[in-house]
Amino acid sequence: MRYQALPLSDERWDFDMDLLLQALGRATRRRGRRSAWLIGSSAAAALVALAAWLVLGGRAPAEAGGRWVADVRYDFGVNQREVFRFTLEGEKLLGTASFLGVDRTVREGKVRGEEITFTTVTSEAAGSESREARHLYRGTVQAQEIRFTMQTEGGFSEHPPVDFVARRESGPP
């Protein structure tokens, strides 16, 4: 017995599925009804396995798109309302996240299952010297809220992680 495989990818899903169905159709015509049943059963089993993988292992990204707001208390005593505007392209997270009320571009943004991660950058100045501070965000999306921990690295001083909850203000943009 010979085994063959076709790649199935997210980027080319429709095209790959068309190729698979064409291959199954050719095999059905060549091998008759009994083989067709076996091939159809194998294809069904493969699709069930793929669905299980998506549900259990390769979870689809949570719906993180839209406008979110959070009241954040920073370690240096400042309370600030921060705004997050997100759009998704598959697992890629795009948008802005305010830091101390100023919108910053989301960098390296990802959503995998319920987990959301991204960074923003702030330029800090002291006298004639400037340094870049990176703000690393990690959160869990749960329906109408995202529970975040934000850690700042670099800059002129160290900061402990800041925990806060962002709430959905509106649906996807």
Domains and CATH numbers, the chain: 1-58 (no CATH), 66-170 (2.40.128)
The answer to whether the predicted template modeling score (pTM) of the entire model surpasses 0.85 is: no
What residue type is assigned to position 28 of the chain?
T
Q: What is the pLDDT of residue 53?
A: 44
What's the pLDDT score for residue 103?
95
pLDDT one digit per residue (tens) for the chain, 173 residues:
555 666 766 656 666 677 677 776 665 555 555 555 555 556 655 555 555 445 445 555 678 889 999 999 998 888 999 999 999 998 999 999 999 999 999 999 999 999 999 999 999 988 999 999 999 999 999 889 999 999 999 988 889 999 999 999 865 44
The SS3 assignment for 13 reads: helix
Which residues share a beta bridge with 115?
Answer: 112, 140
The pLDDT, as a whole number, for residue 56 is 40
H-helix or E-strand spanning residue 79: strand 79-89
